[in-house]
Amino acid sequence: MIITISGLPGSGKTTVARMVAERIGFRHYSAGNMRGEMAIKRGLTIDQLNEIGKKEEWTDKDVDRIIEDLGRKEDNIVVDGWVAFHFIPHSIKIFLYVDLRVGAERIYRNQRPDEERKANIEEIYEMIKKRVKESNDRYKKYYGIDFLDGKNYDHVIDTTDLTIEKVVKKIINIVKKHGKARS
């Protein structure tokens, strides 16, 4: 069984994916972390990498090939990434929604080392609005998909008013219904 988790910035996708994987005994992979490492190795922020990605496909496609490969070669994994559902179509596909203002607050409290530090929540909000639009534009251009379209997913969970623990429990219940994961 493979679970892919997509979602808006600040929805908890990487944290939730890691916790779900730990609890059900699966391995976890994060496309966002892979891209972050790619940026850091090149002395860039993730936004600078995304800017390059407007003209150069490798910024997305290198990681996307890894995700696609994982879907072919491994089982019992949880993969989080905006377009992981597309590259592992036989997965249980989950999208985590969050009100972007709430997502911005969450991100502000836990800023990543591969991102330019922002001074306040409003700056984060503007950054993630821009990042979602530009990334989705790239996915439409490269793959002809809209990662924000709920029809791409088996389950959409609104995390705005939920704790991480409640989101993890919801996903584990979804997995249990598929009957193949240990808990």
List, for residues 151-179, the tens digit of each pLDDT value: 999 999 999 999 999 999 999 999 998 86
Question: CA-to-CA distance for 183 and 170, rounded, in angstroms?
Answer: 13
Residue 183 is predicted with a pLDDT of 41
The domain limits of the chain are 2-178
Q: Is 112 helix (H, G, I), strand (E, B) or coil?
A: coil
Percent pLDDT > 70 in the chain is 95
Question: CA-to-CA distance for 111 and 109, rounded, in angstroms?
Answer: 6
Contacts (Cβ under 8 Å, ≥6 apart) of 155:
92, 93, 94, 95, 171, 174
Is 2-178 a CATH 3.30.460.10 domain?
Answer: no
Cα–Cα nearest to 65, from 42, 39, 31:
31
Could you tell me how many residues make up the chain? 183
Question: pLDDT for 100-145, tens place per residue?
Answer: 999 999 998 887 665 667 778 999 999 899 989 998 998 998 899 9
- List, in sequence order, every residue forming a beta bridge with 93; answer none if it has no partner: 4
Residue 113 is predicted with a pLDDT of 62
Per the CB < 8 A criterion, the answer to whether 26 and 77 are in contact is yes
Percent pLDDT > 90 in the chain is 66
Q: What is the DSSP letter of 115?
A: S
- List, in sequence order, every residue forming a beta bridge with 96; answer none if it has no partner: 7, 157
Structure tokens at 131: 């990042």
Mean pLDDT of the chain: 90
Angle at which helix 31-41 crosses helix 58-73, to 10 degrees, equals 140
Cα–Cα nearest to 2, from 68, 65, 60:
68
This prediction has a pTM of 0.86
